[in-house]
Structure 1
């Protein structure tokens, strides 16, 4: 998903990945999948998927660290690979968590978060995704998990979109539902940041991250109309828009989305 980190970080994480695989009686094989700045490293491990996350010793824990384990409480109607085992250990400088998952048999929709071509997803895929988003939204937002903070959205939406925020309808969201985190199954991957978010936040992510392919974006708007068409989804859409515009100077795929997103906001 992201570029490999600096060599010293990459070497350290690969040694830790090998240690984790051996602890589970497996061997990590195949293509390595890096997280942002090498914070995570994932790969196939036999019939499973092995994900390694790292933090400086003493800073582990909290929302992102415990997100995958906490997601076990979500209903089965939200499709995601089973998390079988967790192993934690620390060194003088770093804390590690290894998570062993069922291997999702189908590939991700896109090798990067945004779409640059029509993925050709069938109507059944959209129906299953719509059902999953509805089931997730019906989960009572956990008090200890926030995917988006209210103070944040009330600050960035006016600053980056020029729109104002009134009342916010809160639901439970995945929080990072881009096209590298959903498979053609569909299965939804990477649950570290799930929690409370404005209504429609996940659907808005799928929609706005497709703006480089207007025909696909129009289809998504239709397929997810039961969510995106509701008035309370406006804040969720504006939140995602503000996040894209806020990050455009430091993230290349956000920079690509900025122009069509501004056109969309002008018509909102």
Structure 2
């Protein structure tokens, strides 16, 4: 989750679009006494989710905005594809209804999900404090990551062309060449950070960007977003050691570090940069 958009026009348009979505799906916003004031904003106001009561009872209504040119791509169809293709033992809110509409050069998509009993582990992707999670939660996460990795799909979360272009540039501070071809590929959620994980009952949220990625990508991403809380980063390494301690896992960490260093140039999660650079040095012996 992200903060409210700074642009008042984006704020007003997304609020209005959410009201349109409620009407289109036969849903009603939950009253404040039932948590109806709770909002979850996406990056720069691209999405807005709020509790709603609909044809299937208590739910979560999420609205996505796109320009006409960008609508219909990977991020647009991800939740529906996940509902069709990802096994139910990978825990996530069920997607019940989808509607789309256009307003001039803007396209909106409404998605009505099951309502989760438990909220996100963190309000932001980067962890701020150590969460209290049970052994059952961690075991479920390992099972979910493993099960998802075996799903067959033509969707792509990370492209080889990106690795070849970005890794040499953003890992140049290591002072030596790094490999750009992963030992293996598998299917990943693609955005497995702490704001997309619910607890204490495990559920994985936000399936826009899932697809093939270097094997170990999800585990590496969760570890990177844990680096601000060393005890949790150590817990991630311990719980997901079968993945992160492997050659593929170390490569995946370098991929994730590349992506996050690039996003830091745009102003995102700059507080992680020192820890990311240190971690890159720790795992850069890959392939020796």
* Fold match by TM threshold 0.5: yes
Are residue 260 (structure 1) and residue 268 (structure 2) matched?
no
Aligned length, in residue pairs: 265
Under a length normalisation based on structure 1, what TM-score does the superposition of the two structures give? Answer: 0.95
Cα distance in structure 2, aligned partners of 1:115 and 1:59: 31
State the partner residue of 2:60. Answer: 49
Q: Which residue of 1 aligns with 2:171?
A: 161
Q: Which of 33, 52, 67 lines up with 2:40 in the alignment?
A: 33
Q: CA deviation at 1:3?
A: 2.5
Equivalence for 2:286:
none
The question of whether the paired residues in 2 share the 8 Å contact of 1:57 and 1:91 is answered with no
- Unpaired runs of at least 5, structure 1: none
What are the residue-to-residue correspondences of 1:1-268 with 2, within 5 Å? 1-5=1-5, 6-28=7-29, 29-46=36-53, 47-72=58-83, 73-140=85-152, 142-143=153-154, 145-162=155-172, 163-184=178-199, 185-253=201-269, 255-268=270-283
**In structure 1, distance between residues paired with 2:122 and 2:102:** 34
Query: What CA distance in whole angstroms lies between the structure 1 residues aligned with 2:37 and 2:25?
Result: 17
Q: 2: distance between equivalents of 1:57 and 1:265?
A: 39
Q: Is the 8 A contact 1:52 1:98 kept in 2?
A: yes
8 Å CA contact 2:149–2:187 kept in 1: the answer is: yes
Deviation, structure 1 residue 167: 4.3
Cα distance in 2, alignment partners of residues 44 and 95 from structure 1:
22
TM-score for both structures, normalised by structure 2: 0.88
1:213-261 CA-partner distances (Å, limit 9, x unpaired): 11111111010012112212222111101011112132342x1111112
Secondary structure of 1:111's counterpart equals coil
C-alpha RMSD of the superposition:
1.4
Three-state SS of the structure 2 residue aligned to 1:90 is strand
Secondary structure (helix, strand or coil) at the match of 1:147 reads coil
C-alpha offsets along residues 24-54 of structure 1, whole Å, 9 cap, x if unaligned?
2222232221111221111111210001011
Maintained 8 Å contact 2:188/2:211: yes
SS for the counterpart of 1:85 is strand
